[in-house]
Amino acid sequence: MTQLHVIYEDNHLLVVNKAAGMLAQGDKTGDPSLVDQAKTYIKHKYKKPGAVFLGLVHRLDRPTTGALVLARTSKALTRLNAQFKNREPKKVYWAIVSGSPEQNAKLVHFLKKNSAQNKSYPQVKESKEAKKAILEYTFLKKLDSYSLLEIRLETGRHHQIRAQLAAAKLHIKGDVKYGAKRANKNGGIHLHARTLSLSHPTNKEIITFLAPLPDDKIWKACLSN
C-alpha cells in the first residue's frame, strides 16, 4: 500500500495528500482505503487502544490526487460537514489537459449521472436528473503536448471537472473514461486537488492546505520556469 502522505494534523484534523488509485473510503471492491490507512497511522503513532475515530468529510475520485480532510473527533466532523454542505471551503484543482483551452473560461453544463457506468453525461437542458454544473478555469501554462489549468468549482456534481472539461474537448491526461486517448501507467489521472481552505472546527481560523504535486515529470514541468 502507498505510504500515507500527511499534510497537516492536530487533535481535530488530519489532512492527507491522496495518492492516485487509492479509494477515499471502502466500497464493494474491498480494496484498501485511505480512511483505513489513516486509522492505522493514528493508532500506531499515538498508541491508541481499540477503534480509532476518523470521519471522512468529503471525497476525491479514485484516480484523482490531492488534499483530503479527515475529522479526528465527532465534534470536528459535525462542524466540517456543515461547512461543506454550505460550500464554504475553497477548493482549487490543477488539471493537465489536451486540446487548446482559451486563456480563461467559465463552463456551464447540465450533468446527468449514470450510476451503472459511474459516469456523468452533459445534457441539453436542466431536469430532475440533470443538474446544473458550473466551473471556471484559468490557463496557467503551456506544456509540450498539454496545458495546465487551474479550476474552481461553483457547484459540486459527480465527476464534474472530468465531465465538463471533456465536454469542452479538454481531456484530462490519463482519463480514458472521459475521452483521453491513453491511460496513465499508475491508473491515475492528471487531476489534483491542489489547495483547500476552510475554517478550523474549533478555533475558527481559516487554514489553507497545499498538496504537493505527484512525483512525475509532467507535474514537475508545471513548476519549472
Per-residue pLDDT tens digits for 40-67: 999 999 998 888 999 999 999 999 999 9
Answer whether residue 221 shows pLDDT above 70: yes
Question: Which H helix or E strand runs over 40?
Answer: helix 34-45
Which range has the worst mean pLDDT, 3-17, 26-40, 176-190? 26-40
Dist CA 207 CA 145 (whole Å): 35
Dist CA 84 CA 215 (whole Å): 29
Other Cβ atoms within 10 Å of 210 Cβ, number: 16
Answer whether residue 2 shows pLDDT above 70: no
| Residue 60 three-state SS | coil
pLDDT, mean of residues 113-130: 93
Which pLDDT band, with edges at 50, 70 and 90, does 99 fall under? Answer: confident
pLDDT, mean of residues 81-101: 95
Answer whether residue 223 shows pLDDT above 80: yes
pTM score, two decimals? 0.94
Catalytic residue among 10, 61, 144, 216: 61
Q: Domains in the chain, ordered, with CATH?
A: 6-223 (3.30.2350.10)
| Residue 117 three-state SS | coil
Sign of CA dihedral 175, 127, 27, 219: positive
Dist CA 185 CA 183 (whole Å): 6
**Pair 128, 81: CB distance under 8 Å:** no
Phi-psi category of residue 21: left, alpha or beta, with phi > 0 → left and psi -120 to 50 → alpha: left
pLDDT, mean of residues 95-104: 91
Answer whether residue 1 shows pLDDT above 60: no
pLDDT above 70 as % of the chain: 98
> What's residue 142's pLDDT?
94
Sign of CA dihedral 160, 129, 79, 44: negative
61 among known catalytic residues: yes
Residue type, 124: V
> What's residue 187's pLDDT?
86
The pLDDT tens digits of the residues spanning 132-187 come to: 999 999 999 999 899 999 999 999 999 999 999 999 999 999 999 999 999 998 88
Answer whether residue 225 shows pLDDT above 80: no
pLDDT, mean of residues 5-33: 89
CA distances from 63 to 23, 48, 183 (A): 8, 31, 11
pLDDT, mean of residues 1-18: 91
pLDDT above 90 as % of the chain: 83
